[in-house]
Amino acid sequence: MLAGAEGQAAKKAMEIVVALGKIYEAEELVPVASVQVAGVSYGNLGQAGLEFIQEWAEQGARTRVPTTLNPAGMDLEAWRELGIPEEYARPQVEVIEAYTAMGIAPSCSCTPYLVGSVPRLGEHIAWSESSAVSYANSVLGARTNREGGPSALAAAITGRTAKYGLHLEENRQANHLIEVKCAVESVADFGALGYIVGRRVRDGVPDFRLNRYFKPGEEDLKALGAAMAASGAVALYHVEDVTPEAKMGKVLANDARSIAIEGLDEGYEALDGVAEEINLVWIGCPHASLLEIEEVATLLDGRKVKAQLWVTAARGVLITARARGLVDRIEACGGKVVADACPIGAPLQEMGFESVATNSGKGAFYLLSHLGLQVRFGPLSRCIEAAVKGRWPG
Ligand code: F3S
Residue 25 CA, distance from chain mean position: 28
Q: What is the pLDDT of residue 257?
A: 77
Provide the b/e sequence for 61-89 (b: ≥16 CB within 10 Å).
Answer: bebbbbbbbbbbbbbbeebeebebeeebb
Query: Is the pLDDT at 186 greater than 80, yes or no?
Result: yes
Position 345 confidence tier, pLDDT thresholds 50, 70, 90: confident
Instruction: Judge if the upstream peptide bond of residue 286 is cis by omega within 30 degrees of 0.
Output: yes
Q: Which amino acid belongs to residue 106?
A: P
**Which of 109, 131, 368 has most ligand 1 atoms within 8 Å of CB, for mutation?**
131
Residue 212 vs residue 95, higher pLDDT: 95
Q: What is the pLDDT of residue 252?
A: 60
Residue 169 burial (C-beta neighbours within 10 Å; 0-12, 13-18, 19+): exposed
**Which of 285, 312, 317, 348 has most ligand 1 atoms within 8 Å of CB, for mutation?**
285
Strand, helix or coil for residue 176: strand
Position 256 confidence tier, pLDDT thresholds 50, 70, 90: low
Residue 248 vs residue 164, higher pLDDT: 164
Q: How far is the CA of 8 from the centre of ligand 1 (A)?
A: 33
**Protein residue with least CA distance to atom 5, ligand 1:** 286
Mean pLDDT of 350-367: 97
Residue 294 burial (C-beta neighbours within 10 Å; 0-12, 13-18, 19+): middle
Position 77 confidence tier, pLDDT thresholds 50, 70, 90: very high
Q: How far is the CA of 287 from the centre of ligand 1 (A)?
A: 7
Query: What atom of ligand 1 comes closest to residue 284's alpha carbon?
Result: 6
Strand, helix or coil for residue 193: helix
Q: What is the pLDDT of residue 357?
A: 98
- The pLDDT tens digits of the residues spanning 47-63 come to 999 999 999 999 999 99
Ligand 1, pocket residues at CB < 6 Å: 70-71, 110, 129, 131, 226, 285-287, 312, 342, 344, 362-363, 366
Q: Which of 389, 144, 147 is nearest to 279 (CA)?
A: 389
Mean pLDDT of 234-251: 88
Position 292 confidence tier, pLDDT thresholds 50, 70, 90: very high
- The pLDDT tens digits of the residues spanning 161-175 come to 999 999 999 999 998
